[in-house]
Amino acid sequence: MTPEARMPAWLDPSPWLDGKEATPTDVEQALGCDAPGVRELAALLSPAAHPFMETMAQRARALTQRHFGRTISMYAPLYLANYCTNGCAYCGFASDRVQPRHRLEPPEAEEELAMLKEMGFEEVLLLTGERTSHAGFDYLLECVSLAARRFHAVGVEAFPMTTREYALLAEAGCSGVTLYQETYDPRQYDRLHRWGPKKDYLDRLDAPARAMEAGIRTVGLGVLLGLSDPAFDALCLLRHAEHLRRNHWKSGITLSFPRLRPQSGNFSAMFPVDEAWLARLVFAVRIVLPDVPLLLSTRERPEFRDGMAGLGISKMSAGSRTSVGGYGEAEPATEGQFQVSDKRSVPEFCSMLRNRGLEPVFKNWDSVFRDADGGGHG
């Protein structure tokens, strides 16, 4: 991919934007709109919408309750390997960062999975870096099969794959694929992804569609806030979600908004996003996409997570480790992909949720209904 890669027409939000700053009237119109879209999201993300935070929060809560009940879906990330050949400027696992590289051998992965199961999880997200000889597709497929034997929902967050590869994952029991575009701005994207297969903007952009074509049930999209103009990235994220929804009506989508925290790692965000903006983003997306699950990870501090649970956010992890494996240790031995700010255990976190009138839900569906060959649940 060359720096001249362009945003496809289906992604580009510019036809709906007139370049003028939104006014308070525009914000009110957006809040009153029956079927909000790109234009309304832009208004809700503009500076003029800041005074409407509380209104937006209340609307977000009402919509979240309507579509998700008073529940929070729980999941756990498991880093299988941190080998990587990419040169992403913002990532702790970039190939030029000096840190011990490791992968979980299948028996080790089994142990970690058993521990997660003990902690109460029924949904696991398996993560790796870019496809490498140490941890490539076959390794991932094997780990998915292992996980699918124990967990009702198994997701992967790894690297763009072919339709055929996604189909094999689906057969093995993978129900979700997460792949963040990080930033939808092609020039910024090119600049930040200094080398490696991840430089290919278009291939990554099309991967979620391939996953859906292959029969993967849910695809997770997201942007890493801080890499580019966050409002523009959010609008593109909406366009991406709408596009996938129109073309793959049988698959579901989730959205996530990981935020670059300037003090962690060596990379400082060019477009820093504060908590207030992140909160407003979540409210705005909830208002525009009332029925899409929105995720918040342990990257954010406990008080923020407590406040956001149920205000748009419908799915959260807890007790997470972001280094390879690590669930058996009190403190992770090696540096993770990002720093965990909310270090609370699962019981502590769940207790907080219950105190706030929210029920943690670990199991959303029963994998016994999967085809017999798909590694039925034991």
Partner 1 sequence: MNREPGGEEMEGQDRVPDEWSVGGHRFSSRLLMGTGKFQDAETMVGAVLASGAQIVTVALRRVGRNPREDDMLGPLGELKGITLMPNTSGARNASEAIRAARLGREICGSPFVKVEIHPNPHHLMPDPIETFEAARVLAAEGFVVMPYMPADPVLAKRLEDVGCASLMPLGSAIGSGRGLATAEMLRLILREARIPVIVDAGLRSPSEAAAALEMGCDAVLVNSAVAASGDPIAMASAFARAVGAGRDAHRAGLMPQGGGTALATSPLTTFLSGEGS
Q: Decide: is 163 part of the binding site for partner 1 (CB under 8 A).
A: no
Q: Which stretch binds partner 1 (CB under 8 A): 149-157, 190-198, 207-215, 268-276?
A: 268-276
Choose between 60 and 125: whose C-beta lies nearer to partner 1. 60
Binding partner 1 by CB under 8 A: which of 97, 134, 245, 370? 245
Query: In angstroms, what is the minimal distance from the CB of 108 to partner 1?
Result: 35
From 70-78, 99-107, 139-147, 244-252, span contacting partner 1 (CB under 8 A)? 244-252
Q: How far is the CB of 202 from partner 1 (least distance, A)?
A: 17
Smaller CB distance to partner 1: residue 231 or 279? 279
What is the x/- site pattern for partner 1, positions 1-30, by CB under 8 A?
Answer: --------xx----xx-----------xxx
Query: Count of residues binding partner 1 (CB under 8 A)?
Result: 45
Q: What does the per-residue mask of binding to partner 1 show for 310-349, with x meaning CB under 8 A? A: -x--------------------------------------
Indicate whether 54 belongs to the interface with partner 1 (CB under 8 A).
Answer: yes
Judged by beta carbon, residue 55 or residue 71, the one nearer partner 1 is: 55
Task: State CA 30 to chain mean position distance.
Answer: 26
Binding flag, residue 231, partner 1 (CB under 8 A): no
Residue 307 in contact with partner 1, rule: CB under 8 A: yes
